[in-house]
């Protein structure tokens, strides 16, 4: 390399295989070139579009060839992808299909403080699953295995007032007991998944029914109080739908500027309603507070196609509460 170039440049980008080495053979000029750059106060970064290896893999490779290197000395396609995703899709759920090295690179970015500030249960669960698959590849000496048995404790508080069934069939005390229990256990996995519109497995469904029909009351009390609703519908109606989930469903209508001011107000009312109540029947749209804007046919008179899409989203929310049961 020209000596003038070495003196005038502060940063050098080097491809690796075929530029600094070939396979497992280091080129004769490589170490002297890198040393000269360092001695003159310059810096070099190793770049590659090979996502099948992580930075850790490349550090080991260069160390075997006699080239000292640290994490910040690299820019790989995996790193570039992780940076792009953090900037443009940091709130999105992603599915990574690639080698363990690519997955590790993306997981490394989850160590960022901002990620943990916004991560919910399912984000953390995804990271846990990915890490479990990667842990076997860590080059560490054997460690003692620790078995941890953690019980997910549900808080069931006794009512201060006696449970009374009046001659008129008033099950209000039972409903209060169920409501208090559910709202007091929002961090329970089953209740959490229902609130976040996630499907329960068979064991979770059985446990949910056991709580309702054994711990909190019995089947007869449940039916008398909530009618023909299934257990998951009842839980969803009481704890509501997660606000971010609801906004992800309906905010697209507001953000793409297809609605007028009254239609935007209607959608915002709709979001607030499903966050509080979990589901919504089409009949409700003819009642307050929606009727204060006028009949649905009037509000969306010039935008019938959009309302049909909104109606499909409403039906999907309601259907999920039924299908997940």
pLDDT digits (tens, 9 = 90+) for 5-27: 667 788 889 998 888 999 889 99
Same domain, 85 and 111: yes
- Percent of the chain whose pLDDT exceeds 70: 73
Q: Cα separation of 247 and 268, whole Å?
A: 9
pLDDT digits (tens, 9 = 90+) for 56-82: 888 888 999 999 888 788 888 877 777
Q: Cα separation of 196 and 173, whole Å?
A: 27
Same domain, 216 and 277: no
Q: Quick one: pLDDT band at residue 156, thresholds 50, 70, 90?
A: low
Q: At what angle do helices 219-226 and 172-183 cross, to 10 degrees?
A: 100
**Domain for residue 149, yes or no?**
no
Indicate the average pLDDT of the chain.
80
Domain boundary among 239, 266, 298: 239
**Domain for residue 267, yes or no?**
yes
Same domain, 259 and 235: no
Looking at residue 1, its pLDDT comes to 56
Element (H, E) at 158: none
Q: Is the pLDDT of residue 300 over 50?
A: yes
Q: Which residues contact 302 (CB under 8 A, 6 or more apart)?
A: 260
Q: Give the 3-state secondary structure of residue 297.
A: helix
Looking at residue 306, its pLDDT comes to 92
pTM: 0.50
Same domain, 31 and 81: yes
Same domain, 70 and 182: no
Looking at residue 130, its pLDDT comes to 66
**Domain for residue 146, yes or no?**
no
Task: Read off the pLDDT of each residue in 217-241 and give the average, rounded to a whole number.
Answer: 90
- Nearest residue to 111 (alpha-carbon basis) of 131, 94, 95: 131
Looking at residue 163, its pLDDT comes to 45
CA 64: distance to chain centroid? 39
144 or 53, higher pLDDT: 53
Q: Any idea which residue has 């080698």 for tokens?
A: 99
CB-count burial class (<10 Å; 0-12, 13-18, 19+) for 305: exposed
Task: Output the six-digit token pair for 319.
Answer: 């259907």
Q: Is the pLDDT of residue 250 over 50?
A: yes
**Domain for residue 131, yes or no?**
yes
Task: Read off the pLDDT of each residue in 267-278 and give the average, rounded to a whole number.
Answer: 93
Give bridge partners of residue 48 from the DSSP assignment: 76
Task: Read off the pLDDT of each residue in 212-216 and give the average, rounded to a whole number.
Answer: 88
Task: Output the six-digit token pair for 86.
Answer: 């953090």
Q: Cα separation of 39 and 202, whole Å?
A: 65
Same domain, 18 and 35: yes
92 or 220, higher pLDDT: 220
Q: How many domains does the chain have?
A: 3
Same domain, 178 and 219: yes
Give bridge partners of residue 225 from the DSSP assignment: none
Q: Is the pLDDT of residue 132 over 80?
A: no
End-to-end CA distance of the chain: 69
Q: Cα separation of 298 and 320, whole Å?
A: 29
**Domain for residue 156, yes or no?**
no
Looking at residue 164, its pLDDT comes to 44
Q: Is the pLDDT of residue 273 over 90?
A: yes
**Domain for residue 148, yes or no?**
no
**Domain for residue 315, yes or no?**
yes
Same domain, 112 and 8: yes
Domain boundary among 137, 155, 184: 137
Q: Is the pLDDT of residue 286 over 70?
A: yes
Looking at residue 91, its pLDDT comes to 56
Looking at residue 114, its pLDDT comes to 64
Looking at residue 167, its pLDDT comes to 44
pLDDT digits (tens, 9 = 90+) for 167-184: 445 568 888 999 999 999
Domain boundary among 137, 157, 184: 137
Same domain, 259 and 292: yes
Q: Cα separation of 307 and 133, whole Å?
A: 45
Same domain, 251 and 212: no
Looking at residue 166, its pLDDT comes to 45
What are the two backbone dihedrals, phi and then psi, of residue 91, each rounded to the nearest 5 degrees?
A: -105, 5
Range of the domain at 190: 172-239
Task: Output the six-digit token pair for 39.
Answer: 């001695």
| Cβ atoms 225, 174 nearer than 8 A | yes
For CA atoms 9, 11, 13, 16, the dihedral sign is positive
Q: Is the pLDDT of residue 143 over 80?
A: no
**Domain for residue 230, yes or no?**
yes
Same domain, 233 and 251: no
Same domain, 111 and 24: yes
Q: Is the pLDDT of residue 151 over 70?
A: no
Looking at residue 165, its pLDDT comes to 43
Give bridge partners of residue 76 from the DSSP assignment: 48
Q: Cα separation of 282 and 310, whole Å?
A: 11
Looking at residue 187, its pLDDT comes to 86
Looking at residue 168, its pLDDT comes to 44
């Amino acid at each position: 390399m020209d000596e003038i170039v070495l003196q005038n440049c502060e940063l050098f980008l080097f491809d690796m295989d075929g530029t600094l080495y070939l396979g497992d053979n280091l080129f004769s000029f490589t170490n002297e070139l890198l040393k000269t750059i360092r001695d003159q106060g310059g810096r070099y970064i190793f770049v590659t579009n090979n996502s099948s290896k992580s930075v850790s893999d490349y550090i080991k490779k260069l160390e075997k060839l006699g080239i000292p290197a640290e994490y910040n000395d690299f820019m790989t396609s995996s790193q570039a992808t992780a940076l792009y995703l953090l900037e443009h899709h940091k709130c999105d759920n992603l599915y990574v299909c690639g080698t363990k090295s690519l997955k590790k690179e993306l997981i490394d970015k989850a160590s960022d403080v901002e990620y943990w500030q916004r991560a919910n249960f399912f984000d953390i669960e995804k990271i846990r699953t990915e890490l479990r698959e990667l842990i076997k590849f860590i080059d560490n000496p054997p460690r003692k295995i620790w078995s941890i048995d953690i019980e997910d404790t549900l808080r069931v508080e006794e009512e201060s007032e006696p449970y009374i069934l009046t001659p008129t069939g008033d099950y209000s005390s039972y409903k209060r007991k169920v409501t208090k229990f559910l709202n007091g256990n929002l961090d329970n996995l089953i209740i959490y998944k229902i609130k976040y519109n996630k499907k329960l497995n068979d064991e979770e469904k059985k446990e949910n029914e056991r709580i309702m029909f054994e711990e909190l009351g019995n089947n007869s009390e449940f039916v008398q109080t909530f009618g023909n609703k299934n257990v998951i519908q009842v839980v969803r109606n009481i704890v509501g739908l997660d606000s971010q989930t609801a906004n992800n469903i309906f905010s697209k209508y507001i953000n793409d500027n297809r609605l007028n001011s009254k239609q935007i107000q209607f959608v915002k009312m709709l979001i607030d309603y499903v966050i509080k109540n979990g589901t919504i029947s089409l009949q409700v749209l003819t009642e307050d507070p929606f009727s204060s804007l006028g009949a649905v046919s009037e509000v969306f008179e010039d935008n019938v196609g959009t309302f049909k899409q909104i109606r499909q989203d409403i039906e999907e929310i309601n259907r999920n509460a039924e299908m997940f049961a």
